[in-house]
Amino acid sequence: MTSNGDDAVKVVPVRHYRRWVGTVAVVIFLAMVVHTILSKVGTGVNVCTRVQGIRHCHQPLRWRFYWNIVFHYFTTYDVIHGLYLTLWLTVLAMTIGIVLGVILAVMRRSQSRLLSSTAWTYTWFFRGTPVLVQLFFWFNITALYTSITIGLPFLHVTFLHLNLLSILNPFRSAMIALGLNEAAYMSEIARAGLLAVDEGQVEAATSIGMTRGQSLRLVVLPQAMRVIIPPTGNEVISMLKTTSLASTVGVIELLGAVTNISAANFQVMPLLIVASIWYLIVTTVLSIGQFYLERHYAKGALRNPPPTPIQRLRDDLKGIASKYRTKRGVPSGVTS
């Protein structure tokens, strides 16, 4: 068979009729969705006017999804402040979760049975009870302890004295509850990452004289990151949404803020849409960040790193441009 030339046999691709039918059905469905989201409906109230003795009546229209109200509340101070608390709570709880989680993962791998079983028990406990229960627990912890004192027993030596009644507010209890809960999940993620690094890497690190701590820090953890990052990204996104539970203990974060507003004006739906859009915006930004972080830690793992979406878009455009050029009789690769 000749691959090109005038007498080359033309290839006719298989026609996928069912795929075409499916495509048409989905296009129609999507069009309907977009239409209904952007549609207007009657308010159900007749407004009548009398012009030159003749009565004219009409029903004013409103957006079905109350877009005007959504837009009105989207950037109000209360909503933005709620968003700020949501982000701040996410950052703090995830920081606690990641740091404690890595410590727990390293403890799990310890030669000491006590350390490893302590880490196991922690995960067992915090993964085994609902996060909402834990949230209420930390919110009410002052029923059990009004203060915490760290010192030497029997000697009346005090290093640290914490008055929980004054320290703990709703935000801080939520931060502790979500952070400690997250640590249980993060420890499993970090452990999977540590397990994924080949034993030989530790041996090589040891053989050039690194201590156990150095080989963990300089060799194992950076390579474990490649495995740890994707599920951690999931956890951050999940945490962002879980912070909405904090509204149940009185933290006026994003959901708390919109609930407060809708409790006053009864516009429940528009304000829930406001919150949803904000959550979507933040998760989108986080996903983009995760992509670049993954790329950074994939260093050396792949022979050819995959292109970024922007590079891919550029390549696609180039491809289309060159195709267009060849159609017009200019061979690709020749630029004027």
Partner 1 sequence: MVEAIGVRKSYFGLEVLRGVDLTVTRGEVTCLIGPSGSGKSTLLRCINHLEKHDAGELLVDGELVGYELRSGRLYELSDKRICGERAQIGMVFQRFNLFQHLTVLENITIGQIRVKGVKEEAAIAKARELLTRVGLDSKERHYPAQLSGGQQQRVAIARALAMDPKLMLFDEPTSALDPELVGEVLDVMKDLARSGMTMIVVTHEMNFAKEVANTVYFLDQGVIEESGDPKVVLTSPASARLQSFLSKVL
163 scored as a contact of partner 1 (CB under 8 A): no
Q: Provide the 3-class DSSP secondary structure of residue 255.
A: helix
196 scored as a contact of partner 1 (CB under 8 A): no
Q: Cα–Cα distance between 294 and 308 in angstroms, integer?
A: 11
| CA distances for 197 relative to 68, 183, 303, 330, angstroms | 53, 21, 18, 51
Cβ contacts of residue 63 below 8 Å, gap of 6+? 38, 39, 40
- Whole-number minimum distance, CB 212 to partner 1, in Å? 6
140 scored as a contact of partner 1 (CB under 8 A): no
- Which of the stretches 5-13, 32-40, 139-147, 207-215 binds partner 1 when contact is defined by CB under 8 A? 207-215
Q: Considering only CA atoms, which of 149, 145, 143, 179 is closest in space to residue 161?
A: 149
Total residues at interface with partner 1 (CB under 8 A): 25
Q: Cα–Cα distance between 260 and 238 in angstroms, integer?
A: 23
223 scored as a contact of partner 1 (CB under 8 A): yes
299 scored as a contact of partner 1 (CB under 8 A): yes
Q: Cα–Cα distance between 62 and 42 in angstroms, integer?
A: 6
302 scored as a contact of partner 1 (CB under 8 A): yes
- Whole-number minimum distance, CB 192 to partner 1, in Å? 17
- Whole-number minimum distance, CB 292 to partner 1, in Å? 17
118 scored as a contact of partner 1 (CB under 8 A): no
Cβ contacts of residue 69 below 8 Å, gap of 6+? 267, 270, 271
204 scored as a contact of partner 1 (CB under 8 A): yes
Q: Cα–Cα distance between 241 and 257 in angstroms, integer?
A: 14
Residue type, position 72, single letter: H
219 scored as a contact of partner 1 (CB under 8 A): yes
- Whole-number minimum distance, CB 215 to partner 1, in Å? 10
- Which of the stretches 137-145, 179-187, 277-285, 293-301 binds partner 1 when contact is defined by CB under 8 A? 293-301
Identified binder of partner 1 from the candidate list 55, 56, 113, 303, rule CB under 8 A: 303
- Which of the stretches 60-68, 217-225, 233-241, 278-286 binds partner 1 when contact is defined by CB under 8 A? 217-225
Which is it for the CA torsion 135, 141, 144, 149, positive or negative? positive
- Which of the stretches 205-213, 239-247, 256-264, 270-278 binds partner 1 when contact is defined by CB under 8 A? 205-213
Q: Cα–Cα distance between 6 and 62 in angstroms, integer?
A: 63
Residues 64-103 touching partner 1, rule: CB under 8 A, are none
**46's tokens:** 């007749």
Residues in the site for partner 1, rule: CB under 8 A?
198, 200-201, 203-212, 214, 218-219, 222-223, 226, 297, 299-303
